[in-house]
Amino acid sequence: MATIGNLAAAVPRAGIAGASWTFVKRWQHYWSAPGGRIAVAVLRIAIGASLLWSIARIAGHATVSRSALYYPHGIWLAFPGRPSAALVAALVPIAWLSTLAFTAGLLTRVAHAVSLIATLALASFEVSGMPTWTHQNVPPLLASLAFLGARGGDALSLDALVRRWRRLPPLDVPGAYGWTLRLVQLAVASVFFVAACCKLASGGLGLSWALSDNLRHQLLMRFDWIHLPRTWAADWIVAEPWRYETFALLHLAAQLSPIAAALAMHRPVVRAALGLVWIGEVVALGVVMALWDTHWLPLAAAFIDWDRLVRPARLDSSDGETATAGRMPRARSAFLAGFLAFYAAQAFGLNQRLNLYPFSSYPMFAEVRARWPYDQHQSYELIGGRIELVAQHPLAPIEQRWIDRRIVYRWMWQERNPDAVRKKLQGVLDETRRRFPAAGISAARLWLVVDRAPAYPAAARLDRFDLAILGELDTAGSFRTALGQLDGRRVTCAPRGLDLGGAALIAYRNDQPDALPVAATRDATGFLLAQPVADDPAYLVAFAGGRPWLVAQRSSRGF
C-alpha cells in the first residue's frame, strides 16, 4: 500500500516536472534557433541608423532647456539635481561617435553600451521639462536595449574585417543570434501592440474606441485643441462617420497585427508582410496625425529574414543554420525573462509611474473621447486649461501657437495646490520672457477651460469656453488665487491677493460650459452651501475684480 501511495503521489509530481521541462525546452528552442548571423548584423546597422537619426533630431537643442521646470526621467534619476548645459553638451559628441562606431561594427559591444547610455541620457533630458513623456524616440531606444549583449559585430562589420585581416576565422556561434532577432522584433512590434491594447481596454469589447465619434474628437484634440492646421487626411476623415469609424478599425488592426511576426519565425513571407503593415502604420501616423516619426522606419529590418535573402540556398553548418545550439546560457535566459517581465509590468500596469524612460504603455489617444451611448452622435466636452500671458505688446500668432502647443503648459490646469500653481506659473514667466523678450510679458494666468465639439452633422470644430482662473502671477511676484477645498457643504478657502467679500458662487457641472447659480452664504472661512454638491465633476467659481476664480471642486478624477 505504501508503494502504491508513493506511486500515486509521484504521478502529479512527474506531470508537473514534465510540463516544466517541456516549457524549458520550448523556451530554449524559441530563443536559440539556429541561423540569424547576417540578420543580427543588418539589425545592428538598422538600429544604429535609427539612433543616429534620433540624435540628429535631439542634438540641435540638446543643451537648451525647453522648460524652467525639471522632472528627472530614466537615467537622470540616478543623477543628483539638474544636469548642467556643459554636461549635456559633452554627451552629444559621445553619442555621435559611439553610435557611428556601433553602426559600423567597430568594437561593437563596447560602442553599443556607450551609445545606449549617451543617447538615453540625451533623449531623457529632452523630455525632462514635463512630468510625462512623448514617444518620438522610444522605439529606437527600446530596440537598442533589446539588442544588449547581441553578437552584432560577427558579420558586416569592421570587427569582422579586422579578424579577416588578422587571418582569423569568422565568428559564427551556433544559437547565439536568434534570441536577439526575436527580442528586438518583440520590442519594435510591441510599441503599437501595447498602444492598441490600451485603446481596446478603454473602449471595451464593443470596440467603442472605433465604433463611435471618438476618432473625430481625437483628431480635433490633436489639431484644433492646440491650433495646429489639420492635415488634408484628417480634414477628410472627420467629415463623415463612416470614414472615421472605418479608419479607426483599420488603425487598430494595423497596430495589433505586427506582433504576430513573433509567432511566424519560420514564415519569412508572413513576417515581411507584417513588417509592411508596421511601416504603413508609421507612415499613416504622419499622413493623418502629422506625427512624422520617420526615424522609426529602419527598425522594420527586424521583420526581414536577411540570412535567407543573402543566401537563398540551404545554409551549411559554417553559417550556423544547421549547427546545434546547445543549452542557452543562464545569464542570457535571465536577461530575456527579466526584460520581458519588466516590460510587461510597465506596459500593462505601471506605465510611467516609476519614471523609467523609455518604458511606457503608450496611452496617447487611448481614452474614448465620446459620450455614452456611443452609437449616437452627441457633443463632446473636453475639460482642460490654457496659459494667458499679459504683455505690453500682443504676441504674434506664431508665438501664441508655440505656447498653446507646449505639452507641459497644457496639463498645468490639473494642479490644485496653490503653492505648486505659483511655482509652475513662475516657470512659465521665466521661460516665455526669455523666449519672447520683445513682448514685454508682465504676468501669466492659468485658466480652466472647456472645449466643445458640436455633434455631427455640425462641422467638426472646437469651441472654447473659459470657466475660471486657477492662479495669476506677475513679474513683481504678486500671486493671486482663490483655490480652496470642498467638504460636504463647507467650502474652505484662503484667497491670496483677492477679495471675495460679497462674491456669489456659480457652478459648472459635468464638464459642461453652462454656468448655474449656487445658493451659499459667505463666512470667515469661505462659503456654506445650502445643499451639498451632487454632480461629479463640479467646479465652484467666484467673481473677484471682474474675473472668475476657481474656488473648489468635487471630482473623483482629482482635477
Where do the domains of the chain lie?
1-26, 32-350, 382-554
Each residue's pLDDT tens digit, 281-335: 999 999 999 999 999 999 999 999 999 888 754 443 444 444 455 677 888 889 9
Mean pLDDT of 43-60: 95
Cβ atoms of 122 and 56 within 8 Å: the answer is no
Cα 397 from chain centroid?
28
Question: Residue 320's pLDDT is what?
Answer: 44
- Residue 32's pLDDT band (cuts 50, 70, 90): confident
CA atoms within 13 A on the CB side of 279: 14
Spatial separation of the C-alpha atoms in residues 512 and 175, rounded to whole Å: 61
Question: Residue 64's pLDDT is what?
Answer: 63
Record the cell numbers describing residue 407, joined without a space. Answer: 505639452
Mean pLDDT of 98-126: 97
Which segment of 28-37, 447-456, 527-536 scores lowest on mean pLDDT? 28-37
Q: How many CB atoms lie under 10 A from the CB of residue 167?
A: 6
- Of 413, 391, 401, the C-alpha closest to 466 is 413
Mean pLDDT of 59-81: 79
Residue carrying C-alpha cell 508596421: 278
Question: Residue 319's pLDDT is what?
Answer: 44
Question: Residue 156's pLDDT is what?
Answer: 95
Spatial separation of the C-alpha atoms in residues 221 and 227, rounded to whole Å: 9
- Of 370, 321, 296, the C-alpha closest to 141 is 296
pTM of the full structure: 0.86
**Helix runs in 204-329, H state only:** 214-222, 232-237, 241-256, 268-289, 306-310
Count how many residues are written for the chain. Answer: 559
Mean pLDDT of 409-421: 94
155, 159, 162, 166 alpha-carbon torsion, rounded to 10°: -80
- Residue 527's pLDDT band (cuts 50, 70, 90): very high
Question: Residue 205's pLDDT is what?
Answer: 78
Question: Residue 244's pLDDT is what?
Answer: 98
Spatial separation of the C-alpha atoms in residues 495 and 418, rounded to whole Å: 10
- Of 244, 190, 197, the C-alpha closest to 222 is 244
Which segment of 331-335, 441-445, 492-496 scores lowest on mean pLDDT? 331-335
